[in-house]
Amino acid sequence: MVDIPEHLLKRAAEARARAMGQAEESSGDSGEQETSQAVDADTSEVATSAETGKVSSALLERSAPATQTAESPTGPGGHTQRLLTVVKAGSIQDVKALPADKVHTWPHLLLGEFVAILLVTGFVLIFSIFVNAPLLELANFNETPNPSKAPWYFLGLQELLTMFHPMVAGVTIPGVGIFLLILAPYIDKNPEKAPERRKFAVSLMTVHLMFWAILVIIGSFFRGPGFNFIFPWESGLFFDF
């Protein structure tokens, strides 16, 4: 059952009292009886519509604006509506949830990162059990390995040293690259978060990663004795994994 709001009941009672007073002044007891019956009928229809949750067709017809005539006085704007239609509050409320692209750090982000750390740690542990990785013999300072290669994460820098002056390869180029990455948020002020709408940021990071990855690949597989350029499918690999 649908409850009728108190302010609607109050307005209905005032309208009934006003109608009864007008009926007493104009047509006496007979007019009062007819008006009372009409108001009672309206009230019963409102109550019935509230119980069923639907507005009856009779109420809808009475609520429609009538043609202005001499017998039916009009109010402001020419409206002649004399019955208040009860509308369920739920039908005019917007209950749709707005889509959100944000989630809480805990537990959504941190829980996923914690599970990823456990999986990687377990993989490394199992890999270290089944794969032997012995240490090399003690270094002999009288015998330099040929080729002498840096660890893989420094091979990009070692590759640059074969092409440019040490000041340029070791300071200028890495410094400019890091400085451009620092300035990237100030150059690209696009507020979008979707990767497909951040073309500048994605392009800049892609170029940076590909540039360094290519240098590492060349230094790892395409450099042989004397750190000369070779083809690994002809001369073999000169890189220890």
pLDDT digit string (tens) for 17-61? 888 877 766 655 554 455 555 555 655 655 555 555 555 566 556
User: pLDDT tens across 197-238, in order?
Assistant: 888 889 988 998 999 999 999 998 999 888 899 999 988 888
What DSSP character marks residue 229?
A: B
User: pLDDT tens across 80-94, in order?
Assistant: 555 555 555 555 555
CA distance 132 to 117: 23
Tell me the whole-structure pTM to 2 decimals: 0.46
Q: Which pLDDT score is estimated for 87?
A: 53
What DSSP character marks residue 66?
A: P
Within 10 A of 198 (CB to CB), how many other CB atoms are there? Answer: 16
The larger pLDDT score, comparing residue 137 to residue 2, is at 137
Per-residue confidence band for 68, with pLDDT thresholds at 50, 70 and 90 = very low
The CATH T-level fold of domain 145-241 is Helix Hairpins (1.10.287)
In this structure, is the dihedral angle defined by the CA atoms of residues 213, 216, 221 and 226, taken in order, positive or negative? positive
Quick one: how many helices (H) and strands (E) in the chain? Answer: 8, 0
